[in-house]
């Protein structure tokens, strides 16, 4: 016997048909009720039908009806699924690849090997030249029969001749329009005949971490190569050594990516999936156990430099006129001297630490550095030689600069960053320094370095 008397609540299903009213085309299932109400099965069937109608109504309101048409309204998700997302990478690459070139840096055999150059009287003006470096570049502008290429400064540095290899394999002579070692950017010029594709420069400020990007270039001499990865970080500051002497004297703003950047990729474009150049591939971390750490100069940072190179052949920056050494390095040298047995081996070599803000040295041998400073002065910039504006203002050997205007200066890097970011050619600047243990202040007018 069921726990409930009413069969509607019971788990037991009645198998016996109680009555049939065929003449009225109606059927009665289950136990007849004296009050003329519906049977349990009819109630269940009706409930199921109502639920089905409700579901159809809700679906119709959500997706939409088309007035009886055999074609229903397509949901948004279905529209997205109709395209191939991988096709975007192919289209982006096809858009830029014809504008990407390989760069060949040629130097004299004598400078590379220490031997004699080509034979005198040779009819071939490049007979004494040899390929010294390979890199990449991207054509970004065409004007008055000339095509202009962005690349890295280190790709064409010290070149006697530069060649650009187009995507179709044609080799053309290139001339250097301008170079900038600090930002590691350069602009080249070639004949524009037959060049139809120019890369479009995009907005690097719109990059986001995790966004897909592609690097195009000439890695290991394998021209017209693509690598793909994501943006690891949109804004990274990397310390670099401009003199390649292990002393960090500048900081470069870069985009960090995990797309493969190999030797020869330098100067090539970093593009987004719209086929726009958002960076110039510049460097990678090359160390044991390190993979997928590459860097590109952001396009928004690079283009003002490129425009200056196009107009002036250089980047005009304010010029103080000092060769310098960081005071911190001096203290480190002094500490090492105390523990050395041989005074000659530990003697400070100023040339090993010589840095400048664009000044030119005259090759004069410098006297030993002997500083008289308060004990609490541990950071600053030692003047090893003053020329130009600094010399005119009275700066001298062994002066220790500690402030520019009211900004504390602890290193040559900070001195450069303040000058280049905060000052202009012709601006007045206040220099706070220590000389013979006494604090002094000088004023000078920043100049512009004349090219050699």
Q: Using CA atoms, how far apart are residues 232 and 279, in angstroms rounded to an integer?
A: 14
Specify the higher pLDDT residue, 452 or 210: 210
Confidence label for 383 from pLDDT (cuts 50, 70 and 90): very high
* Dihedral of the alpha carbons of 395, 400, 349, 419, in degrees to the nearest 10: -70
Which domains does the chain carry? 7-59 (no CATH), 91-113+128-191 (2.40.10.10), 204-312 (2.40.10.10), 322-445 (2.30.42.10)
Proportion of the chain above pLDDT 90, given as a percent:
54
- 400-404 and 171-180: which strand pairing? unpaired
Q: Which residues are catalytic?
A: 154, 184, 266
User: Which residues 6+ apart lie within 8 Å of 129 measured at CB?
Assistant: 106, 107, 108, 109, 118, 160, 161
User: CA separation (Å) from 268 to 152, 209, 339, 429?
Assistant: 8, 21, 48, 39
Does pLDDT of 75 surpass 50?
no
pLDDT-based confidence at residue 55 (cuts at 50, 70, 90): low
Nearest to 216 by CA among 322, 316, 100: 100
User: Among 38-52, 166-180, 235-249, 370-384, which is the least confidently predicted range?
Assistant: 38-52
The helix (H) or strand (E) run that includes residue 49 is helix 40-63
Closest to 398 in 3D by CA, of 451, 338, 350, 362: 350
Cβ proximity of 184 and 297 under 8 Å: yes
Look at 371 and 354; give whichever has higher pLDDT. 371
1-28 pLDDT, tens per residue?
A: 433 333 332 334 344 444 444 444 443 4
Of the listed ranges 79-88, 90-99, 262-271, 377-386, the one predicted with least confidence: 79-88
Q: Residue 177: pLDDT above 90?
A: yes
pLDDT digits (tens, 9 = 90+) for 264-316: 899 999 999 999 999 999 987 655 566 678 999 999 999 999 999 999 999 99
Least reliable range by pLDDT among 144-153, 365-374, 417-426 = 365-374
Confidence of residue 262 (pLDDT cuts 50, 70, 90): confident
Q: What is the pLDDT of residue 433?
A: 96
């Amino acid at each position: 016997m069921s726990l409930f008397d009413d069969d509607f609540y019971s788990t037991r299903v009645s198998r016996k048909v109680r009555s049939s009213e065929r003449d009225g085309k109606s059927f009665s299932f289950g136990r007849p009720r004296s009050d003329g109400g519906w049977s349990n099965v009819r109630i269940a069937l009706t409930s199921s039908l109502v639920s089905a109608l409700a579901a159809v109504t809700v679906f119709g309101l959500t997706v939409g009806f088309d007035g009886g048409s055999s074609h229903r309204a397509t949901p948004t998700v279905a529209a997205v699924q109709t395209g191939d997302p991988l096709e975007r990478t192919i289209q982006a690459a096809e858009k830029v690849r014809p504008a990407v070139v390989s760069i060949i840096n040629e130097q004299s055999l004598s400078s590379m090997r220490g031997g004699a150059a080509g034979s005198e009287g040779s009819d071939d003006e490049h007979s004494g030249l040899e390929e010294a470096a390979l890199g990449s570049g991207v054509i970004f502008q065409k004007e008055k029969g000339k095509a202009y290429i962005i690349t890295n400064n280190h790709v064409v540095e010290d070149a006697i001749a530069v060649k650009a290899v187009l995507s179709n394999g044609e080799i053309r002579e290139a001339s250097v329009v301008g170079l900038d070692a600090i930002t590691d950017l350069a602009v080249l010029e070639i004949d524009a005949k037959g060049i139809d594709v120019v890369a479009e420069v995009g907005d690097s400020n719109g990059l986001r971490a995790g966004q897909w990007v592609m690097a195009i270039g000439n890695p290991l001499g394998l021209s017209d190569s693509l690598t793909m990865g994501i943006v690891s970080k949109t804004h990274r500051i990397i310390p670099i050594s401009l003199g390649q002497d292990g002393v960090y004297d500048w900081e470069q703003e870069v985009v960090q990516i995990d797309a493969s950047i190999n030797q020869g990729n330098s100067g090539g474009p970093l593009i987004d999936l719209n086929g726009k150049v958002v960076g110039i591939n510049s460097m990678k971390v090359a160390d044991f156990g390190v993979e997928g750490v590459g860097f590109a100069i952001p396009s928004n940072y690079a283009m003002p430099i490129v425009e200056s190179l196009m107009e002036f052949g250089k980047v005009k920056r304010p010029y103080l006129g000092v060769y310098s050494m960081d005071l911190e390095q001096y203290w480190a040298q002094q500490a090492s001297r105390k523990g050395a047995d041989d005074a000659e081996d530990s003697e400070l070599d100023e040339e090993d630490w010589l840095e400048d803000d664009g000044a030119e040295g005259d090759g004069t041998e410098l006297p030993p550095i002997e500083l008289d400073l308060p004990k609490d002065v541990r950071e600053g910039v030692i003047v090893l030689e003053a020329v130009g504006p600094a010399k005119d203002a009275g700066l001298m050997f062994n002066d220790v600069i500690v402030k520019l205007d009211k900004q504390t200066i602890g290193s040559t890097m900070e001195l450069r960053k303040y000058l280049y970011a905060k000052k202009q050619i012709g601006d007045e600047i206040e220099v706070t320094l220590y000389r013979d243990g006494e604090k002094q202040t000088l004023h000078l007018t920043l100049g512009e370095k004349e090219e050699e």
